[in-house]
Structure 1
Amino acid sequence: MEVLTIKKVVGKHVYGELYECDPGILMNEKDLVEIVKKAAEIGGFTLLDVKAWKINPGVSVVGIVLESHISIHTWPEFAFATVDVYTCGNKGDPVKAYKHIVHALKAKRHTLRVASRDYEDN
């Protein structure tokens, strides 16, 4: 008798655009790093590292979490940011992490999309 082993990858990608954010926060590299750290904590993820790059006047921040990554890219001159929270596995809540970033950047409106990144091999 043959035994089937089902292999599955669980992934969730939460992403969107944030409008009418606080431009002062969007250009502050230190604040954005702290926002990503707190988002990882609120989401229940294991933070491995955070890197930030000042791209005048904006900033790009990537937090590497054991479960995948959190990123923020900003355009303060447009009071605009894009955010991605991508997780592999069932640990944590990427929507909570995303919503923390929306609140921390003081976005007056935003989009929120959720995409499944699952894969099953049977």
Structure 2
Amino acid sequence: MNPTPYSPGLHQLVTLQVDDAAKLTDSQAFVEFTQKVLERFGLEQVGLVVHDFDNRSFTIAVCLKESHICIHTWPEFGQLTLDVYLCNYLQDNSEKVRSVMASYIDYFEATVLKDFEIER
């Protein structure tokens, strides 16, 4: 007997170079954009934590029913790290993960420095 294979989901992690430092210091704009992303891709937020640092960089964790989206910005270096993980409980969400990440790369008008995909 061969059980049906199960993949918990795709976890994509990127480091981005961003020329517009204002986008690396405006946590509220990121949250507002994220709400649009969630609506567009049919994702359900179950929690949100935002922390703004003294230098105006920020860390945000968006907890989703499907898993999470997390960002950490470093305006002094023009960089951020972002990870998107969506579970595959009822369907394969791998392409959705890639599309969500592409939305953020477009939002930041960023250059991808590092891009890792982990099949969980």
TM-score for the superposition, normalised by structure 2: 0.81
How far apart, CA to CA, are the structure 2 residues paired with 1:27 and 1:87?
A: 26
Q: Which amino acid aligns with 1:76?
A: P
Distance 1:115 1:39, change over 3 A: same
Q: How many residues align?
A: 114
Distance 1:6 1:104, change over 3 A: same
TM-fit CA distance, 1:91 = 5.7
Residue in 2 that maps onto 1:76: 75
Task: Output one character per residue of 1:41-79: Cα deviation in whole Å (capped at 9) or x when no partner.
Answer: 334322222221002321011111111000111011111
Q: Which amino acid aligns with 2:103?
A: H
Residue in 1 that maps onto 2:99: 96
How far apart, CA to CA, are the structure 1 residues paired with 2:84 and 2:15?
A: 12
How far apart, CA to CA, are the structure 1 residues paired with 2:48 and 2:42?
A: 16
Structure 2, unaligned stretches of length 5 or more?
Answer: none
TM-fit CA distance, 1:32 = 1.4
Query: Residue 52 of structure 1: which of 33, 36, 50 is its match?
Result: 50
* Secondary structure at the counterpart of residue 56 of structure 1: coil
TM-score for the superposition, normalised by structure 1: 0.80
How far apart, CA to CA, are the structure 1 residues paired with 2:7 and 2:69?
A: 19
Residue in 2 that maps onto 1:120: none
Q: Which amino acid aligns with 1:37?
A: Q
Asked whether the 8 Å contact 1:61–1:73 carries over to 2, the reply is yes
TM-fit CA distance, 1:103 = 1.1
Residue in 1 that maps onto 2:15: 17
How far apart, CA to CA, are the structure 2 residues paired with 1:77 and 1:36?
A: 23
Asked whether the 8 Å contact 2:24–2:75 carries over to 1, the reply is yes
Structure number with bigger Rg: 1
